[in-house]
């Protein structure tokens, strides 16, 4: 199948075509890259958008159970839902294909859902680059909601917040943010906090945690994109389903408010411009490292720096002097 | 004065030459850059090292008072001390030349001390790049101790920790780390915590804060570079001078232990290699942005992305296609 036919099949809703397109986008082969760019352009021309929801939470907080319950709630309303993951550990260890589908077994079997595990290779930045392109594919394929999930480690949350329209933080009922390993910067990015496991014996504790987070959120500087409305914190139980419908209603409210004010359009524009700069820089570096006159000079220069025979600045300038002047 | 003569004067201990050399290093002019590289190589060849101490703490914690008391303690022992600053706010607002010298008035007049304010321009990453080169200058000039100070905001602390041999965190006696705005990552990088203002009415509170931090430090994963010795927390008073000598003794202990184990050498090698990569990337980007065939294409491509007429990936690939293939 050529790229044009593949793009048409993706847009027509062919799931196998979508899976093939995602594989192409995640491939590092130069011919695949050219096809991926053409696919991306075809998706852009299709002009479809999903609501992009970023979701983070530390391990053990119940992200999979939540996504399964939340995703089934959406598909139950006739919505088509894609679930993608940006997983730094997977970026290191080589993917979690079985993991992602078995931990959300019912959602994985739902014909209105599409679950795509983390790309199986590459540095975190590279994984995020490809996730951006996969998001465009599922949008072109007509999905209504795209959930980008990440485990709250390192910088992956910031990357996910930068890829999405709204950002949801899932917390456990117990302990402060510090105990849950949630970084302050993430709390500041959250548009909605869901305190999970608000069931059985933990119910009261969850309510206390919710009240604490709600006060903390009210103290934060109001963000322009929310027109003065501070982010909220609510209790849910992914296990019993309590609060799942409420969570979706609040997300729709935030999205609707932002959509009406043009905030989503502006955010996406800013995100696209940042992605352009990042792509340009990454591509430039790849080009330079493939140039024989640089490639052959980089290793000896790095070695001279390591052995203290050259300053980093002079060594870098020496390598760069091999580029054509202009 | 040519570059060779300037380098010789710096190495001979001429303070005016050192000030001129720092100005050259901080300049963005291409001819100054070439001179700066030559100066850096001359300093490297001189083979002198200072103990590089990174110092951070949120505003109001008493950094200036501490540096003045600490610096005078060192010069009182016959040591030569340089004080540099990496200040993100200064990077935005355009320097703090008067500020740095007036807030450490006695130290500024001490002939064994050299105080250099933050570079007055450039992005934070650029400020850190130049601070690295200024460090090499004060080492070449024979200073025994170089203090690199930063206000604990954003990513400046990480940059400073990456520039130095040991990293000291100055805290106020009251409140948890969260209240003081200290990020978890910074606590993890600290080699020594100084609880300041342990005088008068705050004495007992400072001791409580010290004990809290000492327990927290003991719970952290021991670091290989300290051969199992956890970082310590002590009380000081920059106002009365209590604990200043103790702080210096502990820093010397840490430095001596690391020096003996080869840790400082290894760290500096790693730092130099990272600086080489950063310099290469920054220089490559500057080269590319100056190439007419790229420069002329970048703005229209960014514009097409902003207007939704091109994907970021295709737009970046289009610009990069103008580079010579190889």
pLDDT tens string A232-259: 999 999 999 999 999 999 999 999 999 9
CA distances from B17 to A47, B11, B263, B273 (A): 62, 9, 32, 28
Q: A260-276: per-residue pLDDT in tens?
A: 999 999 999 999 999 99
CA distances from B247 to A284, B66, B168 (A): 47, 11, 10
Q: B109-122: per-residue pLDDT in tens?
A: 999 999 987 665 55
The partner residue sitting opposite B284, judged by closest CB among A133, A314, A320, is: A320
- Cα–chain center distance at B121: 16
Q: Which two tokens stand for residue B166?
A: 């040991």
CB–CB contact B314 A41 (8 Å): yes
Which range scores top for mean pLDDT: A184-193, B80-89, B199-208, B265-274? B265-274
Q: Is the pLDDT at B173 greater than 80, yes or no?
A: yes
* Least confident among A84-93, B21-30, B268-277: A84-93
Q: Is the pLDDT at B7 greater than 80, yes or no?
A: yes
B112 touches B141 (CB < 8 A): no
Per the rule left: phi > 0, alpha: psi between -120 and 50, beta: everything else, B170 is beta
| Average pLDDT value for chain B | 87
Mean pLDDT of B148-172: 84
Contacting residues for B42 by C-beta, under 8 A, at least 6 apart: B3, B4, B7, B8, B10, B11, B140
Interface test with A, best of B157, B271, B276, B326 (most A CBs within 10 A): B276
Identify which has the larger pLDDT, A160 or B318: B318
Task: Print burial letters for A73-89: b (CB count within 10 Å at least 16), e (below 16).
Answer: bbbeeebbbbbbbbbbe
Residues of A in contact with B280 (CB under 8 A): 298, 316, 319-320
What's the first-to-final CA gap in chain A, in angstroms?
Answer: 43
**Which pLDDT score is estimated for A161?**
86
Residues of B in contact with A283 (CB under 8 A): 316-317, 320
CA distance A69 to chain B (A): 33
**Which pLDDT score is estimated for B92?**
40
Residues of A in contact with B292 (CB under 8 A): 326
Q: How confident is the model at residue A94 (pLDDT cuts 50, 70, 90)?
A: very low
Burial of B214 (0-12, 13-18, 19+ CB in 10 A): middle
**Which pLDDT score is estimated for B22?**
94
**Which pLDDT score is estimated for B3?**
94
Q: Of B312, A113, B27, B176, which is closest to residue B19 (Cα–Cα)?
A: B27
Interface test with A, best of B140, B185, B313 (most A CBs within 10 A): B313
**Which pLDDT score is estimated for A201?**
87
**Which pLDDT score is estimated for B95?**
40
CA distances from B91 to B85, B88, B95, B218 (A): 11, 5, 7, 36
**Which pLDDT score is estimated for A175?**
60
CB–CB contact A308 B269 (8 Å): yes
Contacting residues for B240 by C-beta, under 8 A, at least 6 apart: B199
* Least confident among A126-140, B113-127, B198-212, B279-293: B113-127
**Which pLDDT score is estimated for A34?**
92
Interface test with B, best of A176, A274, A313 (most B CBs within 10 A): A313
| Average pLDDT value for chain A | 87
Q: B25-72: per-residue pLDDT in tens?
A: 988 888 899 999 999 999 999 999 999 999 998 778 889 999 999 999
B236 touches B198 (CB < 8 A): yes
SS3 assignment, position A42 = helix
What is the distance between the alpha carbons of residues B119 and B91, in angstroms, rounded to a whole number? 7
B7 touches A274 (CB < 8 A): no
**Which pLDDT score is estimated for B97?**
41
What one-character DSSP code corresponds to residue A86? E
Helices (H), chain A: 3-11, 15-26, 30-46, 63-76, 88-93, 97-102, 105-109, 124-140, 156-161, 184-189, 203-219, 244-260, 263-290, 292-306, 312-320
What is the distance between the alpha carbons of residues A2 and A17, in angstroms, rounded to a whole number? 11
Mean pLDDT of A104-117: 92
The partner residue sitting opposite A305, judged by closest CB among B273, B319, B320, is: B273
**Please, what sign has the CA dihedral across residues A130, A133, A135, A138?**
negative
Q: How confident is the model at residue B19 (pLDDT cuts 50, 70, 90)?
A: very high
Sheet with strand A192-195: strands edge to edge: A113-116, A81-86, A145-151, A51-57, A166-171, A192-195, A232-235
Identify which has the larger pLDDT, A240 or B213: A240
Q: Is the pLDDT at A97 greater than 50, yes or no?
A: no
Q: B67-119: per-residue pLDDT in tens?
A: 999 999 999 999 999 999 876 554 444 444 445 556 789 999 999 999 987 66
**Which pLDDT score is estimated for A231?**
87
The partner residue sitting opposite B283, judged by closest CB among A184, A306, A317, is: A317
Task: Print burial letters for A179-214: b (CB count within 10 Å at least 16), e (below 16).
Answer: ebebbeebbebbbbbbbbbbbeebeebbeebbeebb
**Which pLDDT score is estimated for A93?**
43
Nearest chain A alpha carbon to B266: A306
Q: B246-255: per-residue pLDDT in tens?
A: 999 999 999 9
Tell me what percent of the residues of chain A surpass a pLDDT of 70.
Answer: 85
Q: Is the pLDDT at B264 greater than 70, yes or no?
A: yes
CA distance A178 to chain B (A): 9
Q: How confident is the model at residue A95 (pLDDT cuts 50, 70, 90)?
A: very low
What one-character DSSP code corresponds to residue A226? G
CB–CB contact A284 B320 (8 Å): yes
Residues of B in contact with A44 (CB under 8 A): 308, 310-311
Helix (H), strand (E) at residue B287: helix B263-290
**Which pLDDT score is estimated for B91?**
42
What is the distance between the alpha carbons of residues B178 and B50, in angstroms, rounded to a whole number? 33
Q: Is the pLDDT at A1 greater than 80, yes or no?
A: no
Q: Is the pLDDT at A90 greater than 80, yes or no?
A: no
Q: How confident is the model at residue A215 (pLDDT cuts 50, 70, 90)?
A: confident
Residues of B in contact with A292 (CB under 8 A): 326
The partner residue sitting opposite B136, judged by closest CB among A291, A311, A317, is: A311
The partner residue sitting opposite B314, judged by closest CB among A37, A312, A320, is: A37
Burial of B145 (0-12, 13-18, 19+ CB in 10 A): buried
**Which pLDDT score is estimated for A188?**
78
Contacting residues for A77 by C-beta, under 8 A, at least 6 apart: none
In the block, tokens 């060779």 appear at: B4
CA distance A283 to chain B (A): 7
Which range scores top for mean pLDDT: A115-119, A140-144, B219-223, B229-233? A140-144
* Least confident among A292-296, B64-68, B172-176: B172-176
Q: A33-89: per-residue pLDDT in tens?
A: 999 999 999 999 999 999 999 999 877 889 999 999 999 999 999 999 999 987 655
CB–CB contact B276 A316 (8 Å): yes
**Which pLDDT score is estimated for B187?**
78
A213 touches A186 (CB < 8 A): no
Nearest chain A alpha carbon to B129: A313
Nearest chain B alpha carbon to A286: B320
Identify which has the larger pLDDT, A91 or A78: A78
CB–CB contact B311 A41 (8 Å): yes
Residues of A in contact with B136 (CB under 8 A): 311
Q: Of B169, B159, B147, which is closest to residue B214 (Cα–Cα)?
A: B169
CB pairs under 8 A between A and B: 136
Interface test with A, best of B312, B322, B326 (most A CBs within 10 A): B312
Helix (H), strand (E) at residue B145: strand B145-151
What is the distance between the alpha carbons of residues B165 and A129, in angstroms, rounded to a whole number? 35
CB–CB contact B40 A313 (8 Å): yes
């Amino acid at each position: 199948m050529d790229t044009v036919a593949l793009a048409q099949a993706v847009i027509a809703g062919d799931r196998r075509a979508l899976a093939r397109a995602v594989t192409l986008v995640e491939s590092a082969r130069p011919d695949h890259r050219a096809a991926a760019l053409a696919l991306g352009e075809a998706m852009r021309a299709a002009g479809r958008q999903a609501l992009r929801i970023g979701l983070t939470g530390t391990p053990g907080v119940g992200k999979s159970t939540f996504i399964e319950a939340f995703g089934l709630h959406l598909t139950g309303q006739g919505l088509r839902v894609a679930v993608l993951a940006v997983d730094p550990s997977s970026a290191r260890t080589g993917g979690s294909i079985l993991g992602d589908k078995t931990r959300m077994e019912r959602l994985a079997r739902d014909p209105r859902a599409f679950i795509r595990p983390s790309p199986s290779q590459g540095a975190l930045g590279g994984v995020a680059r490809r996730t951006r392109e996969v998001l465009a594919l599922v949008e072109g394929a007509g999905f209504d909601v795209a959930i980008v999930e990440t485990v709250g480690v390192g910088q992956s949350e910031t990357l996910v917040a930068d890829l999405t329209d709204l950002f949801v933080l899932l917390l456990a009922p117990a302990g402060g943010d510090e105990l849950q390993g949630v970084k302050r910067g993430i709390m500041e990015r959250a548009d909605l906090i869901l305190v999970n496991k608000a069931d059985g014996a933990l119910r009261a504790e969850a309510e206390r945690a919710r009240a604490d987070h709600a006060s903390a959120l009210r103290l934060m500087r109001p963000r322009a994109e929310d027109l003065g409305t501070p982010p909220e914190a609510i209790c849910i139980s992914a296990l019993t389903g309590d609060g799942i419908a409420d969570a979706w209603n609040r997300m729709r409210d935030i999205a609707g408010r932002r959509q009406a004010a043009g905030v989503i359009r502006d955010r996406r524009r800013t995100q696209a411009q940042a992605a352009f700069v990042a792509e340009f820089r990454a591509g430039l570096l790849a080009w330079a490292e493939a140039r024989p006159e640089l490639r052959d000079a980089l290793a000896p220069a790095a070695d001279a720096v390591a052995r203290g025979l050259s300053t980093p600045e002079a060594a870098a300038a020496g390598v760069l002097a091999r580029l054509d002047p202009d």
